[in-house]
C-alpha cells in the first residue's frame, strides 16, 4: 500500500486490517506522524504532536494484536483531539496565550473513551481563541489555511481538526460545536462532521451545564467512521446533566436496508440568510433529489423565525461574562474579534438576555413543529464556500456572489447555529464543489435521539454521491 493510500484509509478499514494482522499499528501511526510533521509548516493544523507517546501506544497496540487480546473498535487508529479538551500531560491552550503554559492533569471523559476503544492520540488541533468564531486563526498562532486553497479559511472553530482529516493526517478527529464549530469547518474542508443530540455525547466542560449549547462530536472522511466514533463516545457522564437521561433511538430497520420509501424530507431553503450561493444550493438540492430517487418525498419546509439575533445575544453575553476575568492582565494578547464579541455581549441588558433564552425555547418548539410534518430536514450547510483566510469575523460582512449578506451568523452559518440552540442532531456531508473549486456541504437534521438514522441517511447520500476519491491539493505534499 502506498503512503497516500494508507493515509486516506478509512478508520474502519484500517481497524479491520489491524485485527487481521495485515496492517501494523506501529507503521500506521508512524506514517501519520511523519505526514503531520511534514504538513505542519503549511497547514498549521496542530498545536502539538505527540510522537513519543503515540509510538509507545502503537507498540502496545501491536503487542495486543500479537497476543490475541480482545480489541476495541478503534484499535490502533490515530485520532487527533481539538485543543479544547484535556489530554493528560499535554497543554490545553484553548487557542489562547492565556493558557499557553497550562498542562492537563487528566484526560477528558471522551479522550478516555477513545483510548478504551483502542484509539491512539497523536496530536492536539488548532482552534480560535476559546472557540469563539467560525474561522481558525489568532494572535497566538497565526492562521490555519484551508487545504483546498491556502487563501481561504478552514472555518472554525474545529478548523485544525477539519484540515487534518481532509489532508490525511489521521482518519478521525474529535471536534466541538458551540455555534456550528464542527459542521462549518467540515463543510469548508470537504469532510463529515456530526453534532449529536444534546446530551448523547457528554460535554463535561460547560460552565452552565443546564443552559448548554456546546457539543463534542466526530469529524471523519466517511459517515461510517463518524458513526463508529459516535458509538464509542456516547453515554452518560455524572458531570453532564443532559447526558444522564439521553438515549439514542433504535435505528430504523428500513433505513438500515437503504429503503427511503415514505421518508418525509423538508428542504430548508433559507434560515434567516438573505442569500445562498447557487452552487451551494444546487448541490444541496441534488442531494435531496438523490434521496427522492430512493423513494423519499421532498418538500419545501415552511418558513419559521430562526432567531438569529437572540442567539447572538446568548452567545456574546456568555463570552462577556466568562472571559471578563482575563481582561486586566491579558487584554493586549487576546484576539480582537473576541474582545469585540465581549464588548457587544456586555452591552446587552438582563431583559434582553432572558428574552433571548425564551426565544431559544420558541425556536425549539418551532423546529419540533417541523418534525411533526417531516422525518428529517435538509439544507445547505453554509451559504457559500470558505471565506477568505483574513476575513474579520467581528466587522466584515459576508459576500455571497458579490453581494453583502450580513455578519457570519446571518450571512454564512445561518443554517447550522439554530440546531445548537434546539439540540437536534445535525450532520454535514460533502455535496460537491462550487465554481471556485472548493467543497460544498449539505446538512441533515433529525428528531431528538434519531442520531443513527441521520447518520444512515448521510451514508446513503455518500453511497449515491461518492466523495472519498477527492483529496485536497495540500494532501499531495504530505
Active site residues: 82, 157, 181
Helices (H) and strands (E) in the chain, counts: 18, 17
What does each C-alpha distance from 81 to 68, 158, 231, 432 come to in angstroms? 28, 10, 17, 27
Point out which residues pair with 220 in neighbouring strands.
Answer: 172, 192
DSSP 144: -
Distance CA 159, CA 166 (A): 11
Identify the CA nearest to 175 among candidates 110, 111, 82, 96: 82
Distance CA 446, CA 169 (A): 30
Helices (H), 209-267: 223-233, 241-244, 253-256
Cβ atoms < 10 Å from Cβ of 237:
18
| Helix pair angle (25-43, 11-19), 10° resolution | 150
Run of H or E residues at 330: helix 327-330
Point out which residues pair with 91 in neighbouring strands.
Answer: 103
Residue 225 neighbours by CB under 8 Å, 6+ apart = 10, 11, 12, 171, 172, 192, 218
- For 110-133, give the secondary structure using H, E and C: HHHHHHHCCCEEEEEECCCHHHCC
Separation of CA 285 from chain center: 22
Identify the CA nearest to 182 among candidates 453, 467, 363, 429: 429
Identify the CA nearest to 186 among candidates 215, 167, 152, 161: 161
Cβ–Cβ under 8 Å, residues 1 and 13: no
Amino acid at each position: 500500500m502506498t503512503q497516500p493510500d494508507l493515509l486516506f484509509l478509512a478508520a474502519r478499514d484500517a481497524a479491520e486490517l489491524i485485527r487481521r494482522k495485515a496492517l501494523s499499528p506501529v507503521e500506521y501511526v508512524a506514517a501519520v506522524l511523519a505526514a503531520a510533521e511534514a504538513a505542519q509548516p503549511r497547514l498549521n493544523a496542530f498545536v502539538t504532536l505527540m510522537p513519543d507517546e503515540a509510538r509507545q501506544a502503537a507498540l502496545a497496540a501491536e503487542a495486543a494484536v500479537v497476543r490475541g487480546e480482545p480489541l476495541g473498535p478503534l484499535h490502533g487508529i490515530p485520532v487527533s483531539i481539538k485543543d479544547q479538551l484535556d489530554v493528560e500531560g499535554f497543554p490545553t491552550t484553548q487557542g489562547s496565550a492565556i493558557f499557553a503554559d497550562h498542562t492537563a492533569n487528566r484526560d477528558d471523559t471522551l479522550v478516555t473513551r477513545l483510548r478504551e476503544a483502542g484509539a491512539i492520540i497523536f496530536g492536539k488541533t488548532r482552534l480560535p481563541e476559546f472557540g469563539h468564531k467560525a474561522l481558525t486563526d489568532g494572535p497566538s498562532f497565526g492562521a490555519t489555511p484551508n487545504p483546498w486553497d491556502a487563501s481561504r479559511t478552514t472555518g472554525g472553530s474545529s478548523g485544525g481538526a477539519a484540515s487534518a482529516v481532509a489532508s490525511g493526517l489521521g482518519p478521525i478527529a474529535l471536534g466541538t460545536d458551540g455555534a456550528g464549530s464542527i459542521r462549518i469547518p467540515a463543510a469548508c474542508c470537504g469532510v463529515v462532521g456530526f453534532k449529536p443530540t444534546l446530551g448523547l455525547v457528554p460535554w463535561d466542560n460547560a460552565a452552565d451545564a443546564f443552559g448548554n449549547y456546546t457539543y463534542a462530536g466526530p469529524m471523519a472522511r466517511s459517515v461510517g467512521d463518524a458513526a463508529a466514533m459516535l458509538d464509542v463516545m456516547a453515554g452518560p457522564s455524572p458531570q453532564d446533566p443532559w447526558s444522564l437521561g439521553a438515549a439514542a433511538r433504535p435505528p430504523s430497520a428500513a433505513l438500515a436496508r437503504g429503503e427511503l420509501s415514505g421518508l418525509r424530507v423538508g428542504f430548508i431553503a433559507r434560515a434567516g440568510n438573505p442569500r445562498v450561493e447557487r452552487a451551494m444550493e444546487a448541490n444541496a438540492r441534488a442531494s435531496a433529489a438523490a434521496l427522492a430517487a430512493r423513494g423519499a418525498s421532498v418538500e419545501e419546509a415552511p418558513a419559521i423565525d430562526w432567531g438569529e439575533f437572540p442567539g447572538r445575544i446568548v452567545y456574546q453575553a456568555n463570552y462577556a461574562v466568562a472571559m471578563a476575568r482575563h481582561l486586566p492582565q491579558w487584554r493586549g494578547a487576546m484576539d480582537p474579534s473576541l474582545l469585540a464579541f465581549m464588548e457587544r455581549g456586555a452591552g446587552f441588558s438582563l431583559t434582553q438576555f432572558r428574552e433571548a433564552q425564551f426565544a431559544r425555547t420558541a425556536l425549539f418548539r418551532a423546529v419540533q413543529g417541523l418534525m411533526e410534518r417531516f422525518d428529517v430536514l435538509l439544507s445547505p450547510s453554509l451559504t457559500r464556500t470558505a471565506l477568505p483566510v483574513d476575513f474579520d469575523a467581528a466587522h466584515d460582512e459576508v459576500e455571497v456572489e458579490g453581494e453583502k449578506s450580513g455578519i457570519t451568523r446571518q450571512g454564512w452559518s445561518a443554517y447550522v447555529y439554530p440546531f445548537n440552540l434546539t439540540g437536534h442532531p445535525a450532520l454535514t456531508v460533502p455535496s460537491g464543489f462550487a465554481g471556485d473549486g472548493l467543497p460544498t456541504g449539505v446538512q441533515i437534521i433529525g428528531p431528538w435521539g434519531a442520531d443513527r438514522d441521520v447518520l444512515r441517511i448521510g451514508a446513503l447520500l455518500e453511497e449515491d454521491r461518492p466523495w472519498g476519491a477527492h483529496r485536497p491539493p495540500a494532501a499531495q505534499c504530505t
